[in-house]
Amino acid sequence: EDQVTQSPEALRLQEGESSSLNCSYTASGLRGLFWYRQDPGKGPEFLFTLYSAGEEKEKERLKATLTKKESFLHITAPKPEDSATYLCAVQLNAGGTSYGKLTFGQGTILTVHP
């Protein structure tokens, strides 16, 4: 079964301490890789779409990159309001079995202390 693995499961940072979250996937035929942020009790909030190796996207303190089988979400000088669960999801190039289907990783719980 296609798998999406995120690491670490949890990450505690001090405010201003930069770090990276990892997302790796086993399937071939990637159509797109997505990053979401989820706050407790809320639905995931869309952050980025990546679909070719070497691609990078940035938004405020976040930068997402994509290699052949991995993506990284770099957080530069994080603030306490960046605390959330960050989810990675993939959409495969698999015809009808991929319609509307994202396969999610388990997420990384990020806590940023002031």
Contact between 19 and another protein by CB under 8 A: the answer reads: no
Contact between 25 and another protein by CB under 8 A: the answer reads: no
In the complex, least distance from residue 104 CB atom to another protein, rounded to whole angstroms: 4
Contact between 59 and another protein by CB under 8 A: the answer reads: no
Burial 42-56 (b: 16+ CB within 10 A, else e): eebeebbebeeeeee
Residue 98, SS3 per DSSP: helix
Residue 63, SS3 per DSSP: strand
Residues that bind another protein (CB under 8 A): 31-32, 34, 36, 41-46, 49, 51, 87, 89, 91, 96-107
